[in-house]
């Protein structure tokens, strides 16, 4: 009896031992499994990022570094390998921090302007032929886009003649003809920004308050610096101290030199100081900001005439006078533009806030009425949201 009990206990102990071995083996398989998966996968840059502290974006990227690869190789040796030594600290950079900023597209940013005329275009395309309603819809679309009444009539008269000459009877062909006509009208203008060798070039920015002068200078300075040019920003808007501070922040972001004066001081002397400093330091480009109080105050125009004169004086060379216009104000901006043209002899227009405007047609009105090319277009508030004006891309973005 006693023997039987002892035998039973011995059997139980043996059974438990056997079960324990199975569990341990099973566990070791579970541990090994994820390691095997890591080994078979590609060495992803994200893997070490989980364990490493992130540091400054200016540090060399890690994904292709031998250290990062070594971390993967240790895993590849499997569960029998020696315990890994503490991993070396690898400093990582997120890909988006090193990727160059993408140029925003007209198609993406002009949705508001496109939506404003899309309804009229849809109504035109819904009909099978061209009739009086078609012409009314076209007129409405162009006026809604702020092309202006006079220019709209002129464009439609030309289109009528063309439709007759080319026997256009289908609505979609008529819209294509209008598109081609708008592109042809905008083609051929010289939209380049002038830079001359040898002396500090001065680009003067003028326009009423809030249109985006300071922001545009920041964007232009950044772009020019990216292209390897040395830039100085002169805070010629002395009306408020905050205006100079805003420009200083942009100068820091763009890596540009910066000159300012006292609040309420003479803007001409700030521009003068800027040109002097640029000449002394061999800086190629001075971007001069100006104040933009209401155009009804005639002293602003007098002030700008003086600033212009100083900017053009040796050793500086005034190569651009850019009027900054807010696309949201549309036709109203044209009255301002005429006054600025008289005071400062403009060389080009920067049309800002086209991203938030339904009045894309203002580009056509500006060029027809003022005879000044739209050189740059603001498509948002970020530093990269300023692009050269591309007429074909612009017209396509409005129509499709």
Ligand X SMILES: Nc1nc2c(ncn2[C@@H]2O[C@H](COP(=O)(O)OP(=O)(O)O)[C@@H](O)[C@H]2O)c(=O)[nH]1
> Does 224 sit near Mg ion (CB under 5 A)?
no
| 285 touches 195 (CB < 8 A) | yes
Nearer to Mg ion, 243 or 379 (CB): 243
Smaller CB distance to ligand X: residue 213 or 308? 213
Using the minimum distance from each CB to Mg ion, give the nearer residue, 213 or 353. Answer: 213
356 binds, among Mg ion, ligand X, none (CB under 5 to 8 A by kind): ligand X
Residue 380 contact, options Mg ion, ligand X, none, Cβ 5-8 Å cut-off depending on partner type = ligand X
Work out how close the CB of 288 gets to ligand X at its nearest, in angstroms, rounded to a whole number: 12
**Which range touches Mg ion (CB under 5 A), out of 197-205, 222-230, 240-248, 252-260?**
240-248
- Rounded Cα distance between 143 and 126, Å, is 20
* Residue 352 contact, options Mg ion, ligand X, none, Cβ 5-8 Å cut-off depending on partner type: ligand X
The alpha-helical segments, DSSP class H, found in the chain are: 2-40, 46-49, 66-76, 95-98, 106-109, 111-126, 132-144, 149-165, 171-186, 213-226, 241-254, 267-281, 298-311, 332-344, 362-370, 391-399
CB of 345 to Mg ion, least distance (A): 21
Interaction with Mg ion in 160-219: which residues (CB under 5 A)?
213-214
Closest CA relative to residue 181, chosen from 148, 212, 158, 210: 158
Q: Residue 194 and residue 192: Cα distance in Å, rounded?
A: 6
**What DSSP designation does 145 have?**
T
Q: Which is nearer to ligand X, 216 or 319 (CB)?
A: 216
Nearer CB in complex with ligand X: 75/386: 386
3-class DSSP state of 234:
strand
Q: Which residue, 63 or 384, has its beta carbon nearer to ligand X?
A: 384
Closest CB to ligand X: residue number: 378
Which SS3 state, helix, strand or coil, does residue 345 take?
coil
Nearest-approach distance from CB 356 to ligand X, in angstroms: 5
Q: Smaller CB distance to ligand X: residue 121 or 205?
A: 205
260/251 Cα distance (integer angstroms): 11
Residue entry with tokens 């009528």? 160
Residue ranges in contact with ligand X by CB under 6 A:
207, 209-215, 292, 324, 352-353, 355-356, 378-381, 385
Contacts 24+ apart (CB under 8 A), 43-48: 43/68, 43/69, 43/72, 45/92, 47/71, 47/72, 48/87, 48/90, 48/92
Q: Least distance (Å) from ligand X to the CB of residue 189?
A: 21
Binders in 67-86 for Mg ion, by CB under 5 A: none
What is the rounded (10 degree) CA torsion for 50, 55, 61, 66?
-60
- What's the min distance (Å) between Cβ of 390 and ligand X? 16
Question: CB 29: neighbour CB atoms within 10 A?
Answer: 11
CB of 213 to Mg ion, least distance (A): 5
> Which residues sit at the interface with Mg ion, rule CB under 5 A?
213-214, 243
């Amino acid at each position: 009896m006693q023997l039987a009990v002892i035998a039973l206990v011995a059997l139980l102990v043996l059974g438990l031992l056997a079960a324990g071995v199975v569990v341990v083996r099973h566990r070791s398989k579970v541990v090994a499994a994820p390691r095997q998966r890591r080994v078979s996968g590609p060495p992803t840059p994200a893997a070490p990022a989980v364990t490493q502290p992130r540091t400054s974006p200016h540090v060399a990227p890690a994904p292709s570094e031998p250290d990062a690869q070594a971390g993967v190789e240790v895993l590849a040796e499997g569960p029998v390998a020696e315990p890994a030594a503490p991993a070396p600290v690898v400093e990582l950079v997120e890909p988006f921090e090193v990727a160059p900023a993408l140029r925003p597209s007209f198609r993406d940013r002009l949705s508001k302007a496109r939506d404003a005329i899309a309804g009229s275009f849809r109504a035109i395309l819904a009909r099978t032929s061209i009739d009086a309603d078609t012409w009314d819809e076209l007129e409405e679309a162009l006026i809604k886009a702020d092309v202006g009444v006079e220019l709209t009539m002129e464009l439609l008269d030309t289109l009528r003649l063309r439709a007759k000459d080319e026997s256009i009877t289908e609505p979609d062909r008529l819209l294509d003809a209008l598109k081609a006509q708008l592109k042809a009208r905008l083609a051929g203008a010289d939209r380049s920004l002038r830079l001359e060798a040898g002396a500090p070039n001065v680009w003067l920015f003028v326009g009423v308050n809030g249109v985006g002068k300071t922001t545009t200078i920041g964007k232009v300075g950044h772009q020019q610096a990216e292209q390897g040019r040395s830039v100085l920003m002169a805070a010629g808007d002395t009306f408020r101290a905050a205006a100079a501070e805003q420009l200083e922040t942009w100068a820091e972001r763009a890596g540009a030199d910066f000159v300012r004066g006292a609040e309420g001081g003479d803007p001409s002397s700030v521009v003068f100081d800027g040109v002097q400093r640029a000449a002394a330091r061999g800086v190629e480009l001075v971007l001069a900001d100006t104040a933009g109080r209401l155009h009804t105050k005639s002293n602003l125009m007098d002030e700008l005439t003086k600033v212009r004169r100083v900017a053009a004086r040796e050793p500086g060379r005034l190569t651009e006078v850019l009027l900054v216009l807010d696309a949201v104000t549309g036709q109203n901006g044209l009255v301002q533009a005429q006054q600025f043209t008289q005071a400062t002899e403009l060389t080009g227009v920067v049309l800002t806030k086209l991203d938030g405007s339904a009045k894309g047609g203002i580009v056509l009105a500006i060029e027809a009425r003022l005879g000044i090319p739209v050189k740059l277009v603001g498509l948002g508030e970020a530093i990269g949201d300023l692009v050269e004006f591309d007429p074909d891309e612009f017209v396509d973005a409005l129509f499709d």
